[in-house]
Amino acid sequence: MPERIVVPFGPQHPVLPEPIHLDLVLEDETVVDVVPSIGYIHRGLEKLVTKREYPEFVHVAERICGICSFMHGMAYVQGIEAIMDVEVPDRARYLRTIWAECSRLHSHLLWLGLFADAMGFENLFMRSWQLRESVLDVLEDTTGGRVIQGTCKVGGVRRDIKGEKLSDIQKTLPEFEQQCRDLTDVFLNDESVKYRLGGLGVIGKSEAYDLGAAGPTLRGSGVDWDARCLGYAAYADLDFKPVSHPAGDCYARCAVRLGELFTSIDLINQAVEKMPEGPIDVKVTGAPDGEYFCRVEQPRGEVVHYLKGDGTKHLTRARVRTPTLANIPPLVKMLPGCQLADVPVIVLSIDPCISCTER
């Protein structure tokens, strides 16, 4: 029987954008067991609900994660609005949807670049990030921020996108979509990429569901669930269908994210066409008294914001469950049986965000 050794992977590794730590139990070069360790980062963000008034805490929520910034803010304000029974103007709901899908685009393109880099495909990495820059330009032009937008607030949004600018965004979508299709063609049809990803890090449909996988990790195993189907923001008014793939391997999770690029483009186009006129916010008075469990589909998967207030200006509890936390048990299931050299690719296939997970 081969001798077993334990090799630490992370929290610092050339391939890792995040400080995840795994103890890999190896027999020769084959992984036979995985022990995850989380807890390297502690920022105390949830404790800040006792220090910041509830309208101000949205700025803290947005800083849970830089890449998912807007959607953390949106989940938080939707939870407060539900507790306080605040009716958000239709235009604000549509604007939130546009910015949420722009955030999904830039997050997926960032991930695609990092994934290509993990495979040693530097040209594909640069092309992915080049496309991401055009999305960041739109975010900067419409919100003032490239990564953290700061536009969500309880009762609506802080900024509007005027008609001419909406038209400009819509005009850029066909060319951007074609560029994404060219990128997709390489990721899905290049023989070296297919050889590197096919059959790697497999997790079946029932296993992914039972282990609580979220987002592309779940849909990459054939489960057609997306929190946008709940109909929050403007999604109830738009035509939308989750993207899934049955294979359950790294190739499938990559294919799901590529498919979601085009879903986001279509949703932005629909939102621009159906954009209602009217105010972008309503005046909110009082303080939240009650609790709410808010669910939003981030690029990495479903995020949960549990909020509880007692009628004062400070919340008594804010608890956030991020998609990466949900995807760590499925990751541990994917790794046994793979080679040590394949670990970085499998880890990146769930798009981990450890700073997001450890608040």
Q: Report domain extents, the chain.
A: 41-338+347-357
pLDDT given at position 188: 94
Phi and psi at 291, nearest 5°, equal -140, 155
Least confident range of 39-43, 254-258, 322-326: 39-43
Residue 149 CA to residue 96 CA, distance in Å, equals: 11
The mean per-residue pLDDT over the stretch 201-225 comes to 95
Is residue 11 scored above 90 in pLDDT?
no
Please determine, for residue 26, whether its predicted confidence score (pLDDT) is greater than 70.
yes
Q: How confident is the model at residue 119 (pLDDT cuts 50, 70, 90)?
A: confident
Whether residue 294 is predicted with pLDDT greater than 70 in this model: the reply is yes
Q: Considering the domain 41-338+347-357 in this protein, what is its CATH number?
A: 1.10.645.10
Quote the percentage of the chain above a pLDDT of 90.
Answer: 79
**3-class secondary structure per residue, 4-56:** EEEEEECCCCCCCCCCCEEEEEEECCEEEEEEEECCCCCCCCHHHHHCCCCCC
Return the pLDDT at 68: 87
pTM greater than 0.75: yes
Chain Cα centroid distance, residue 182 = 23
Specify the range with the lowest mean pLDDT, choosing from 59-68, 148-157, 302-311. 59-68
Q: Quick one: pLDDT at residue 14?
A: 67
Binned at pLDDT 50, 70 and 90, residue 10 comes out as confident
SS3 1: coil
Per DSSP, what are the bridge partners of residue 295?
A: 304
Residue predicted with more confidence, 168 or 15: 168
pLDDT > 90? residue 298: yes
Residue with tokens 């029932």: 206
Give the H/E segment covering residue 90.
Answer: helix 90-118
Mean of the per-residue pLDDT values for the chain? 92
pLDDT at 262 over 70: yes
Residue 333 DSSP SS3:
helix
Residue 359: pLDDT band with limits 50, 70, 90: low
